[in-house]
Amino acid sequence: MSMARRSLERATDRARSVRPRAGDGAYPRPRADGRGFGLIELLAFMALFAILLAAGLPHVDHRRQNINLALSQVAADVRWTRARALGSGAHFALRVTGSNRYQIERLELAAGNWQLAEVVRRITLPQTVAIEDFTPNAIEFDTRGTVVFAAATTPGPWMPRLVDETFGAERAFAIWPSGQFHELP
């Protein structure tokens, strides 16, 4: 037999061992070295993982995040109120109406005073979160974005806080006379 013919037969034998022959429906055999996982092994792992996950999920309490979500909401609303005052040519105010409620108001100039024209938004924070030290109960931004009422009464920042009595958490923030909002550590 010629050398070319032997090399052709070896190549053909290798090809037959890797893929099934046409028409016989055979699949390749698993690797002899045992690498990889079978379908049953993967299903068993997924079932075990699902059981552990189901046992651990009830212990995750999302209410602990309420204070952080509330602080993000207040920060966004203070910044939004200031931006509306800057862009609209009218004064806007954020007024606390309850222990966990506040509203954003658009004011209009009438008889030399800025008075309530309309309530733009009403916001209710989670029941476990309370707004404290928000005195006076409203913060007003003028058309330049600066704080009108608090700037006249306090030389520094205005520092209200959010308190979650259920979990003993507290978050303070500062609103400067310039209108800037900062979360405090």
Helix (H), strand (E), coil (C) string for the chain: CCHHHHHHHHHHHHHHHHCCCCCCCCCCCCCCCCCCCCHHHHHHHHHHHHHHHHHHHHHCCHHHHHHHHHHHHHHHHHHHHHHHHHHHCCCEEEEEEECCEEEEEEEEEECCEEEEEEEEEEEECCCCEEEECCCCCEEEECCCCCECHHHHHCCCCECCEEEECCCCEEEEEEECCCCCEEEEC
Per-residue confidence (pLDDT) for residue 16, from 0 to 100? 61
Q: Give how many domains the chain has, as a whole number.
A: 1
Residue 44 lies in a domain: no
* Both tokens assigned to 117: 């024209």
Most confident segment among 76-80, 131-135, 153-157: 76-80
- Among 18-32, 83-97, 100-114, 137-151, whose mean pLDDT is lowest? 18-32
Residue 86 lies in a domain: yes
Distance, CA of 138 to CA of 103 (rounded, Å): 9
What is the domain range of residue 130? 64-184
- Among 3-7, 79-83, 152-156, whose mean pLDDT is lowest? 152-156
Distance, CA of 159 to CA of 156 (rounded, Å): 9
Whether 28 has a pLDDT exceeding 60, the answer reads no
Computed over every residue of the chain, the mean pLDDT equals 82
**pLDDT (mean) for 81-100:** 92
Residue 140 lies in a domain: yes
pLDDT digits (tens, 9 = 90+) for 60-87: 666 667 888 899 999 999 999 999 999 9
Per-residue confidence (pLDDT) for residue 151, from 0 to 100? 43
Distance, CA of 19 to CA of 9 (rounded, Å): 16
Q: What is the pTM of this model?
A: 0.64
CATH number at residue 178: 3.55.40.10
Evaluate the omega torsion of the peptide bond into residue 185 and state whether it is cis, within 30 degrees of 0: no
pLDDT digits (tens, 9 = 90+) for 162-177: 998 888 889 999 988 8
Distance, CA of 69 to CA of 65 (rounded, Å): 6
Whether 18 has a pLDDT exceeding 60, the answer reads no
**pLDDT (mean) for 39-52:** 91
37 compared with 147, residue with greater pLDDT? 147
Residue 71 lies in a domain: yes
Residue 59 lies in a domain: no
The number of residues in the chain equals 185
Q: For residue 162, which amino acid is it?
A: L
Residue 143 lies in a domain: yes
Per-residue confidence (pLDDT) for residue 118, from 0 to 100? 94
* Both tokens assigned to 85: 């005052």
